[in-house]
Amino acid sequence: MSFSNVLPIYKKELRGYFSSPVAYIVLTVFLLICGWFFSARLFVEGEASLRSVFPTVLFLLTLFVPAITMGSLSEERKSGTFELLATMPIANIEIVVGKYLAALTLLATAFFFTLTYAVTVKSLGDADVGVMFTGYVGLLLLGAGQVAIGVLASSLTENQVVAFIVSFLALFILSFIDVVLPHVPAAFASMFEYLSATYHFTNISRGVLDTRDLVYFASIVVLSLYLAARALQRRI
């Protein structure tokens, strides 16, 4: 894989986001919802904390990530521009990675603007900067894994709505599979727990960077992008 091929695709995709209403709508709605929950805890309950922001973001990602990624590859196939890219000396994995990094950059931008909440918490109380830092690391890792799954879903179909639904269902299951843990036989409980993205994010957000959690998110990214590239290859 050549970075010189990935970079132009990344730039083109990123310009596409910010030259259309997509990026601005996503950022505005995302920040308004997060700000609402943060302000409610701050002004109604009198508590300056990010504990209401992180769970909110976990839920929002299951909706916003599919919205960001649903057209990344499916639209290319539908419009026929992917066939043009396929005739160039660019590997499928380079196309996938370029589009993946652009979508992840948009999501990271949304996370960046929420740092104002962290600054507010720090200025109003004796906040644990280390825990806040690992919380944001956890968000980036979670977002990286979810965007990869969204790109994979987009590579499987030319229909953006189908891509959105497939991505949403996959992210919803991975995010909330831990809810069924009390009803799972003990022999399978550890497996279901490991599959839960929320479980790994919670571990990191508590201030502990465990190798198992890092491997979990890295595995999702690598596997999803590899499968997306293979899916494109089969459809050429």
Burial of 193 (C-beta count, 10 Å sphere; 0-12/13-18/19+): middle
- Confidence band (pLDDT; 50, 70, 90) for 126? low
Of 140, 48, 148, 139, residue with least CA distance to 96: 148
Q: Which amino acid is at 33?
A: I
Residue 35 above 70 pLDDT?
A: yes
What gap in Å lies between CA 177 and CA 150, rounded to an integer? 18
Q: What is the pLDDT of residue 49?
A: 57
* Residues, the chain: 236
Q: Is the pTM of this model over 0.85?
A: yes
Q: Which amino acid is at 198?
A: T
What gap in Å lies between CA 79 and CA 207, rounded to an integer? 45
Q: What is the pLDDT of residue 216?
A: 94
- Phi, psi (rounded to 5 degrees) for 209: -100, 95
Residue 46 above 80 pLDDT?
A: no
Q: Which amino acid is at 184?
A: V
